[in-house]
Amino acid sequence: MKFSIVGIALLALGAASVSESQTLVTANVPFTFHACGTSFPAGAYRFSRPSSATGTAWVIRSEDANTAPCFLLSRNGIVAEAEPVSKLVFHRYGDTYFLSQVWTLGESAGWEFPPSKREIEMAAGGSALRVASVALSPR
C-alpha cells in the first residue's frame, strides 16, 4: 500500500509539470467513459505523456476543465505494422466504456491500460465485451 501511495504521488508530481507543448493528442469522446477509477462525461480531452515518464504514464485532462486530471500508468502493446491512425480504444460492456488503449499515428507500439476492478467485475459477470474506437487529433 505504501508503494502505491508513493508511486501515485511521484506520478502526480511529474505530471503536474507537463507543459502544454508536451500534449500529444486531443479527442472528442462522444460517450461517458471510465479511467483512473473515475467517470468522465462525454466531451473534449487532451492526452499527454510527461517526457520523463518514458512513455508509461499518461495524463488525461478535460478541455473544459470540469474534471480533475487523471494519471494512468500504461504498458506498451506491440503490433506488426505502424498504426495508420491515432485513436483511443475503449472496452464496452453494455453502455459502460473503459479506456483501454492509446495508439498514435505511425508508431508500431501503442499503450495499454490495465483493466480496473470495476471492468474486471463486469467481464466476470458475463457482460459481452465490445470494442469502440475514437479518432485522435494531433495537438
36/57 Cα distance (integer angstroms): 12
pLDDT grade for 5, boundaries at 50, 70 and 90: very low
Question: Cα(59)–Cα(73) distance, rounded to whole angstroms?
Answer: 9
**What predicted TM-score, i.e. pTM, was given to this entire model?**
0.77
Residue 116: the pLDDT is: 92
Q: Render pLDDT for 56-103 as a digit per residue (tens, 0 to 9).
A: 788 899 988 677 888 888 877 667 677 778 899 999 999 999 999 988
* 119 neighbors 91 (Cβ within 8 angstroms): yes
Note the pLDDT tens digit of each residue in 8-62.
Answer: 433 444 444 444 445 478 999 999 999 988 899 999 999 887 765 455 788 899 9
Which pLDDT does position 93 carry in this prediction? 94
